[in-house]
Amino acid sequence: MFKKIIFFISLFFGFLSRPALAQTEFITDYIVNYSVNSDGSTYASLNIKLTNQLSNIYATEFTLSIGSTKLSQIKAFSESENLNPKIIQGQKTTNIIIPFNQKVLGKDKTQTFTVEFVTKDFSHRLGSVWEISIPRLSKTDNLRAYDFTLSVPNSFGEPASITPKPINIQRGQNTTLYRFNSQDLFETGVSATFGQTQYFDFSLNYNLENTNLFPIKTEIALPPDTPFQTIVYSQLEPKPETIQIDADNNWLASYYLPARSQLKIIATGSAEINLQPKTGFLQPIADLNPYLQEKKYWEISNPKIKKLASELKTPEKIYQYLVDNLIYDYGRLSDNAVRFGAANTLDNPNSAICREFTDLFVALTRSAGIPSRAVNGFAYTTNPSLRPLSLKKDVLHAWPEYYDQNKQLWIPIDPTWGNTTGGVDFFSHPDLNHFAFVFLGIDSEYPIPPGAYKTSFSDTKDIEINFGQPIPHQPQVSLEFHLSQTGLSGVPLKGELVVSNSGNIALYELLIDVKTQKSTSSLNQLIIPVLPPFAKQSFPLEINTQNWQNAFTEKISAISKYGSTEFEVQFFPFYRFILFQPKFYFYLTGIISLLVLSLIIIKIRAKI
């Protein structure tokens, strides 16, 4: 007779401890219910039936490894007695060891027991949304049946997304019960979001320094709009000289710094994060070739990367490879952690942090002919062990995007969190926790994100982000004509129209009509594709008049949906234009004075 010590299935990280004998010596059946309470705590009940496959072996204990460090009210019992579980706390897990007091011997003999606990790691109120994450199940040969249900309070509202799709939904008076196919849980686990939009209030400090003996022009990256986020700005001080949008949709604000000077810039506002892309916010890219190029840290020509990319081929398979094969190295979470790059990550899979997950994804997808890029930004987490952040200065995070040519969208994913959460799906749909700061596609190192603008004298926390409430959108345009107030009839009058976004949100496809009454304008209508907050653009303007003989007043107007302006120009014929110019009389007086003075001098000389 042999006794068997079973270390069984992990419900969170997919860890499977190895038993002393073959796993097929026992068959297990699960009936599992996770019941989420209105306060976000989750009550778990696992009814487990263990069936002997051999006649001469029995189990003495059973271990569950739960991917949570916040378990409470842990109980284990059978129909006949209470079991006294031993609890071993790990860095990211809690191991529950259940001893069996009775020897259940004989082929096909069974023993059934129940494990209960409460955790706050699986459900979280994140600002205006609820998020539930149940990790995937590790599939083993001795698992015969797995019945899983999730109970959610109706007070959470309607789900914005649930992955995988439930096979059955039962709505009760106070709760809704979701039942899932066990095969789906081997692939992704359960990820559910209740709420459509998340709001983050942000305050960003940029510390600039010019150590040169001459003035310089520099720029900072402001958080931009994306298909999944809208930025509402409250403040940007001091105002920039210009704001440009680069090929990666980064918003770059330019500033002039005098010689040997420092400048502190403050940007505040709110980020609206959406699960679904905004209607009409497509990102057609005429030339995708720049997003297939090799860059520093993205060694797509490396033989190992080329070989692996040719085997994996698709974004989803590449994502899953990273989730399954890289190991997150918490020991590298430091300010001076060296960025490995893709090739080095492939050679050192046990020492990855979020940059390594991201760089390897970008390199593999580009090598496979799939356009991709990296994102640096903020990601909210309630458990740094399960959803770690690796860009330590001001707690930033990195994740990749790939370009879907059919949808004409950049699709964000997060293989780092897919790995550390034990298979929660961060590929199929975006979540509401990622707030993008900058995009790295054309260049693998620039621009640098907020939080990285430090001077030699500043080592302060420069990023503050909290959950917020919606801020009203206030679209507004300032229109200004830069023209002379007087002009010569029949002669073109040249100037410019300056369009400034004085509101708190970016304006898209901004239509401006320019109208005149008695003359014609080189600008009749213009469309500005994107005008970020605090940005301005200048457009050359020429007013042409046909009437060169008469004086008249021309009223020029610029009209948009969010603001308008008028400007008057006095046109004079040539002779009147000269006569009505103040300088004309100044010069005329000067000429007459010179003539009189000359005559006096001539007369004086004649007398001599």
Q: Is the pLDDT of residue 8 over 70?
A: no
Write the pLDDT tens digit of every residue in 473-483. 999 999 999 99
Write the pLDDT tens digit of every residue in 114-129. 999 999 889 988 888 8
Of the pLDDT bands very low, low, confident and very high (cuts 50, 70, 90), residue 335 is low
Q: What is the pLDDT of residue 389?
A: 53
Q: What is the pLDDT of residue 274?
A: 92
Q: 598: helix, coil or strand?
A: helix
Interatomic CA distance for residues 281 and 277, integer angstroms: 7
Question: How far from 39 is each of 17, 337, 382, 383, CA to CA, in Å?
Answer: 33, 38, 15, 17
CATH for the stretch 289-442 = 3.10.620.30
Q: What is the pLDDT of residue 424?
A: 78
Query: Does the domain spanning 2-194 belong to CATH 2.60.40?
Result: yes
Is 53 exposed, middle or buried (CB count within 10 Å of its CB: 0-12, 13-18, 19+)? middle
DSSP secondary structure of 278-321: PTT-----S--GGGGS-BTTB-TT-HHHHHHHHHH-SHHHHHHH
Which of residues 185 and 316 earns the better pLDDT score? 316
- pTM equals 0.77
Interatomic CA distance for residues 259 and 256, integer angstroms: 10
Write the pLDDT tens digit of every residue in 310-334. 999 999 999 999 999 999 998 887 6
Of the pLDDT bands very low, low, confident and very high (cuts 50, 70, 90), residue 517 is very high
Q: 602: helix, coil or strand?
A: helix
Provide the residue ranges of all domains of the chain, joining segments of one domain with +: 2-194, 289-442, 477-572, 579-608
Indicate if the alpha-carbon torsion angle 578, 579, 585, 591 is positive or negative: positive
**Close Cβ partners of 182 (under 8 Å, ≥ 6 residues apart):** 137, 145, 146, 147, 148
SS3 of 518-537? CCEECCCEEEEEEECCCCEE
| Mean pLDDT of the 580-598 span | 72
Same fold, 2-194 and 477-572: yes
Interatomic CA distance for residues 548 and 492, integer angstroms: 11
Query: Does the domain spanning 477-572 belong to CATH 2.60.40.10?
Result: yes
Q: What is the pLDDT of residue 576?
A: 61
Q: Measuring CA to CA, which residue among 427, 539, 434, 426 is closest to residue 480?
A: 539
Give me the phi and psi of 261, to 5 degrees please: -135, 165
Q: Measuring CA to CA, which residue among 204, 205, 159, 198 is closest to residue 178?
A: 159
Interatomic CA distance for residues 369 and 289, integer angstroms: 9
Give long-range contacts, CB 8 A cutoff, 24+ apart: 92-95: 92/13, 92/67, 92/385, 92/386, 92/420, 93/10, 93/12, 93/13, 93/15, 93/65, 93/66, 93/67, 93/68, 93/69, 94/65, 94/66, 94/68, 94/69, 95/63, 95/64, 95/65, 95/66
Q: What is the pLDDT of residue 14?
A: 32
Are 202 and 464 in contact, with CB atoms under 8 Å apart? yes
